Amino acid sequence: YWSSFMTSSMQLAKECLSQKLTDEQGEGSQPFEGLEKFAETIETVLRRVKVTFLDTVLRIEHVPENSKSGTALEIRVERTMYCDETADECSGINVHQPTAFAHKLLQLSGVSFFWDEFPASAKSSPVCSATQLATEPKLSPSWNPKIIYEPHPQLTRNLPEITPSDPVQICKLIGRMELSLTLKQNEVLPGAKLDIDGQIDSVHLFLSPRQVHLLLDMVAAIAGPGKYYKKQKNN
């Protein structure tokens, strides 16, 4: 994951142009003509990329083991903007000496958090415990069977209808949320690979004690699924 961030424009240019080489040329060939210009073009494009997402919804669901109900946390963002902080700089680009750190900017506005409780049968994705993930054999990527399930007509008539969930708002960020991401592009340099500096105008919380307990339970399951399931079995 981090290798994609740390790949320089010169490396990208070499990889793109090396696909046109024949087997006889190999690694001992002379440098590509126009390689530096190509790398500068890639660097310029990457610096000027600006992505905007509208009405984004991220839903995290959690169903404890042997539980008939589950919980979900929905993060709704009205507007998300991602860009490079150095896009407006007029200084020249040196592809042979790329910057040690990449500075990215992430701005979010209209961020709201919703809490939902639903029956386990209405979970969006299948339940998979930590022990199953550890013991399940890995299949070949080329093997992709398609399972067709056709329930009996008489059985489908007696199934109860699942009522749609109605999430409750538990948090709202007033104003704009700004995250400054500093990505280390050289493994030799000391320090963390990712440094995040955030700024939030104000936060309004609407949490009940029960919701706080369930939210901490979800965070514990996400942070360490193995320890969480072991704790559930001991209890």
Share the mean pLDDT of the chain.
72
8 A C-beta contact, residue 80 and residue 108? yes
Distances (CA, A) of 1 to 6, 29, 196, 222: 9, 31, 17, 19
129 within domain boundaries = no
CA atoms within 13 A on the CB side of 220: 13
Q: Name the band, by pLDDT with cuts 50, 70 and 90, for residue 81.
A: very high
State the pLDDT at residue 223: 83
220 within domain boundaries = no
The whole model's pTM is what? Answer: 0.60
% of the chain exceeding 90 in pLDDT: 21
Q: Which two tokens stand for residue 149?
A: 């399930």
**Residue 221 buriedness (CB in 10 A; 0-12 / 13-18 / 19+):** buried
219 within domain boundaries = no
Q: What is the mean pLDDT of residues 229-233?
A: 54
pLDDT in tens, 121-171: 766 655 444 445 444 455 555 555 555 555 555 545 454 455 566 899 999
221 within domain boundaries = no
Distances (CA, A) of 17 to 22, 30, 119: 11, 12, 54
Q: Which two tokens stand for residue 211?
A: 């919701």
Query: What is the C-alpha to C-alpha distance for residues 111 and 177, in angstroms, rounded to an integer?
Result: 8
203 within domain boundaries = yes
pLDDT in tens, 93-119: 554 555 677 788 899 999 999 999 988
State the pLDDT at residue 133: 46
State the pLDDT at residue 68: 86
Check whether 1 has a pLDDT greater than 50. no
Which residue(s) pair with 113 in the sheet? 75, 171
88 within domain boundaries = yes
Check whether 42 has a pLDDT greater than 80. no
71 within domain boundaries = yes
Check whether 67 has a pLDDT greater than 50. yes
54 within domain boundaries = yes
Look at residue 62 and give its three-state secondary structure.
strand
Q: What's the structural domain count of the chain?
A: 1
Name the residue range of residue 102's domain: 1-10+38-122+165-207
Q: What is the mean pLDDT of residues 173-186?
A: 85
pLDDT top residue among 136 and 188: 188
Check whether 187 has a pLDDT greater than 60. yes
